[in-house]
Structure 1
């Protein structure tokens, strides 16, 4: 006889943990975590002064510019902030980028600021006042391009570009090119402003010394309007994913299974967002992608459990439905742990050794894998039991009215 092949098993097939028996305690824990997650949002916005926002929105959502600056020699973050403040960027966030440190100093920093252009709204107003009269020409209109890299000035008569360049420079606006724009009789001129990276380099070297900035390898800008739109689009993406999953479960199973899966997904999303609210890590488009990934992973795990529940419900018709559900969870527990642990440890390595948005993505995945696995067992399944009990009770009442027979005792096995 050939030897029996043995496989490594995390959970033995005959394991019988009573998950459903203690569901009230786990549901209570979930409610507490969800409430804490929601409560952290207004606390961040109105109570904790150093935060000021519900979430630490990345420039993708709040708008602004993110610049990575590499210095020739190690410098203090405070010195960088002072140099930027002297140029008018007093609210800039300066954080270490990379891991090279010498006595608390760093060669590379990531600078985040709300500005997307060298010309702020306040400076635009001052410039409009300064250029009200350029020689005999009268300024009719001044407006900036959507990207903030150009300014359009309309006068009542023609004016020499060199004269306009000198007027702009005297108003504190540095340009690289000025040329007529549109029809000749419109007297509109397009002024191309210097880049924000050039402005930042000039500001830093003015305080830290010539050639203090070695390189500016990355500059990313998002307008405030675009940031708001991305917030709306991100919420739509999450809601759209949940709606499509609800439709899928309606076709795959029946109405009793769908609500539990959806509540579990909402539970996972809220707690993951709450983890970002609590730690105040940056919430960017990459984080949103992680949440959508979590929704998919959690749904996959829930479907595996539900599929086994449906299979066992037809196989063990003599058992109460909550016992059928508990047995199905135990049967799929080994698969659930192995799958979730694989994803968790991979993303944990990314969280430990990664940098920037990679680490934020991995952190979201770490939290999401834990709560997603938890919700498949302790949220989706108990809701399914509750809905099934309601469904069976309605069926019994209808059957009793039709046959005029007494309702069966509550302690008898529940049919599915």
Structure 2
């Protein structure tokens, strides 16, 4: 039996204020997406991909500084295979063809490193970016639909609605941060958003599992009390999991370089918001929708035994009938 002394924080008492706070964040995020939009990377907008080769290893920050001084502020620079091969991605520029862009980039690089050589130039059309945008949105929608079905079958439909609301809450706020900060949104960020959905769902499922167990054990407690006890019992696990994950993600953010910077930013925001939503959005919404012990409580033991006995008697009767017919 669980010790009721575990209930130290009355989370559900603040659920209305928490939901109001979440609604405010969602409204601000949607406002940012409408007013400012996203700073899409070349994966979505299309552009020019340039591969160059140096005789000696070159630092990426040095290449970025050269391009920035030449007016290519949003160029994405990364090593390609080795420290001497560099891949540069340039967003479309008005009035310039792909060949003109690549020539201008090569001239800038040769001013600092005359030995640089152009390996290849590719143009990514905007149609590809549109297809990626559509596929990304569909990937998120399919993930949410699959989660809704899974949680509804494993727990109860009101829990499923709570979990989906929490996931949508996490995704919208994460996207809102990228809209307001105008951090570049590319395929790595989309991958981070999908990872946030999985992380947040895992945290929510752990809380829901404990709530279901306690509904069956603490039969004399109200749903609000059961949820408070359950959340407090899983609180240490939730905090430790989030902190250890954030340690790794912060390391990626500060030490992983520019290429992975926005990916780590999306994870930091998503993990923080997801930890909050598993307590104050998923559980609180399930409580507001009216989930009760009757929805999750296992049938009494004597009722289970009676049903099993009836099945055994019916099976024995059918076997006896079959034996008499054979004889």
TM-score with structure 1 length normalisation? 0.60
Match of 2:149 among 229, 237, 247: 247
Gaps of 5+ in 1: 1-12, 45-53, 82-91, 99-107, 121-193, 393-416
Structure (1 or 2) with the greater strand fraction: 1
User: Structure 2: how far apart are the matches of 1:25 and 1:68?
Assistant: 53
User: Structure 2: how far apart are the matches of 1:97 and 1:324?
Assistant: 53
8 Å CA contact 1:250, 1:258 repeated in 2: yes
State the match for 1:80 in structure 2.
Answer: 70
Question: Residue by residue, what CA displacement relative to the aligned partner does 1:74-125 show, whole Å, maximum 9, x if unpaired?
Answer: 86556412xxxxxxxxxx5455958xxxxxxxxx9956231699747xxxxx
Paired residues for 1:121-132 under 5 Å = none
**Structure 1 residues 334 and 218: CA distance shift in structure 2, 3 A:** farther
User: Structure 1: how far apart are the matches of 2:252 and 2:269?
Assistant: 13
Paired residues for 1:250-261 under 5 Å = 250-261=152-163
Greater Rg, structure 1 or structure 2?
A: 1
User: Structure 2: how far apart are the matches of 1:220 and 1:375?
Assistant: 43
User: Structure 1: how far apart are the matches of 2:69 and 2:42?
Assistant: 23
How far 1:255 moved relative to its partner? 1.1
State the match for 2:45 in structure 1.
Answer: 62
**Structure 1 residues 17 and 279: CA distance shift in structure 2, 3 A:** same
- Report SS of the residue matched to 1:319: coil
8 Å CA contact 1:95, 1:109 repeated in 2: no
Tell whether 2:237 aligns with 1:330. no
| RMSD of equivalent CA atoms | 3.4
- Report SS of the residue matched to 1:338: helix
Match of 1:41 among 15, 25, 33: 33
User: Structure 2: how far apart are the matches of 1:42 and 1:281?
Assistant: 16
Tell whether 2:167 aligns with 1:287. no
Aligned length: 278
User: Structure 1: how far apart are the matches of 2:163 and 2:263?
Assistant: 24
Question: Residue by residue, what CA displacement relative to the aligned partner does 1:35-75 show, whole Å, maximum 9, x if unpaired?
Answer: 1111112221xxxxxxxxx1010111111124477899886
- Report SS of the residue matched to 2:6: coil
State the match for 2:135 in structure 1.
Answer: 233
Match of 2:8 among 16, 33, 42: 16
**Structure 1 residues 218 and 15: CA distance shift in structure 2, 3 A:** farther
> Using CA pairs below 8 Å that are at least 6 residues apart, which structure has the higher relative contact order?
2
> Which segment is superposed worse, 371-380 or 382-391?
382-391
Gaps of 5+ in 2: 79-85, 295-327
8 Å CA contact 1:61, 1:226 repeated in 2: yes
User: Structure 2: how far apart are the matches of 1:387 and 1:346?
Assistant: 37
State the match for 2:213 in structure 1.
Answer: 311
- Report SS of the residue matched to 1:355: coil
TM-score with structure 2 length normalisation? 0.75
State the match for 2:313 in structure 1.
Answer: none
State the match for 2:314 in structure 1.
Answer: none
- Report SS of the residue matched to 1:267: helix
- Report SS of the residue matched to 1:257: helix
Paired residues for 1:155-174 under 5 Å = none
State the match for 2:104 in structure 1.
Answer: 200
- Report SS of the residue matched to 2:90: strand
